[in-house]
Amino acid sequence: MEHLEKRDLPPPASPEISHSKQPNSSFTMLISILVCAAAFGAISYGKNSVGTRSEAVTLPAQAVMVPPASFAVIGANGTFRTEAFDTGFNPTNTTPPFFQVFDEAFLKVLGNGATITSVASNATFAFAHEAPIYDPKLDILTFASNDGGALGMSDINHNSKVGQINLKDIPAHLDGTPIEIPVTELNLPDTVQMTNGGTGPFLGNLLLITSGRGELPPSIVTVNPSPPHNTTVLLDNYFGRQFNSLNDIKIHPSGKIFFTDTVYGFLNHFRPLPLLPSQVYRFDPDTGAVRIAATDFDKSNGIAFNGDGSIAYIADTGANSGFLGINQTEPATIYAFDVDPKTQAFTNRRAFAFADSGVPDGVQVDTDGNVYAGCGDGVHVWSSDGTLIGKFFLGTVSATMTFAGPGRLIILAETNIYVANIAAKSSLFTS
């Protein structure tokens, strides 16, 4: 989706759970430590390790444990949040970036020695917004700038930019200290307008989805990752009608392509009034046929599948309405669906997760079925049963992320790109 504005979240002056009015802050801190130990199992202070059910995992230096029992009751004199789009939930007042651990299961995601590091930045340009695509053969990440949003430098008269970084430029050992690697801009033809989503490789190519601009139609295109970046349009209409502004795209294990269409092009002033519902579609690249897979969304956005393609996850970002403003009573929700093995229609819709900060945008799934989404304060991670187990807490918006091979998560955060070296693997990378 297109965030109306970049929302920097400076560390609050005091922790959101205020103990200033409590009678004994030292006693309160002791209770918090004891609660933490109870929630996560035995803590070996000498080895800085956590774990009782399996082999102990070393708590990474950039990780902070925040057990839910420690903030389940804030109290009448506590400080409650009133705005999910202004402040991230950071009760320990830790300086980002860091790993926020709500459940012991997140330690398995992180593994021993996990780090999170900024590797590219530009404070004046939201160059790293959406469409992250990792090419394992070239070890290159492709991505797109913010189309229509703050610091995106794009509008009805200006297209967004598609860039690349070479991951070979990243040192083998990162420790959280920011570095700067080169960012290369791709020169793509005018058929590629306002890129907002991407996946692949697809038959050796990048698979981009665009929101369109003005009367130029939204489309699905393939792009050669290497110069001269030959481009082919695969789809640009639904039985003669333009889509509203295509948003995100994934390839199902069957080879069929699924994508979302929503209204952010209109809400960010670079597309006409919407003429179709916000829906999810299925495209058969072999026949060119397109049909609906799911409907009844406020603003359908990110899409992902579990490893075998039997479950689909769709983010609904209805709470963010562009120039119409923020409405926190609208969806900031990920829905789960069963994928019919014969028709591939999405069935058995149920609420999977509700973001506590901003809205859930781009979605990924790892080999253990954990679901990752870019949200208002970084990347949130839920277990397969919908429990929030942890965050890659950045203190600012992340629209999306992608795995770049096993154990490497690349996070796009508008004006920054972060690399998280962790233990988890994408469901697309099993070796």
Write down the pLDDT at residue 86.
84
Cα–Cα dist 331/49, whole Å:
38
pLDDT, tens digit (0-9, with 9 covering 90-100), for 316-363: 999 999 989 999 999 999 999 999 999 999 999 999 999 999 999 999
pLDDT, tens digit (0-9, with 9 covering 90-100), for 15-61: 333 333 333 444 344 344 444 444 444 333 233 445 544 456 789 99
Write down the pLDDT at residue 56.
67
How many whole angstroms from its chain centre is CA 363? 5
Phi, psi of 252 (to 5 degrees): -70, 150
How many whole angstroms from its chain centre is CA 408? 14
Where do the domains of the chain lie?
A: 115-421
Nearest Cα neighbor of 285 from 254, 241, 255 is 255
Cα–Cα dist 1/147, whole Å:
9
Nearest Cα neighbor of 317 from 349, 274, 361 is 361
Instruction: Please give, one letter per residue, the 3-state secondary structure of 312-357.
Output: EEEEECCCECHHHCECCCCCCEEEEEEECCCCCCEEEEEEEEECCC
Write down the pLDDT at residue 326.
94
Topology given in CATH for the domain delimited by 115-421 = Neuraminidase (2.120.10)
pLDDT, tens digit (0-9, with 9 covering 90-100), for 355-368: 999 999 999 999 99
pLDDT, tens digit (0-9, with 9 covering 90-100), for 155-170: 999 999 999 999 999 9
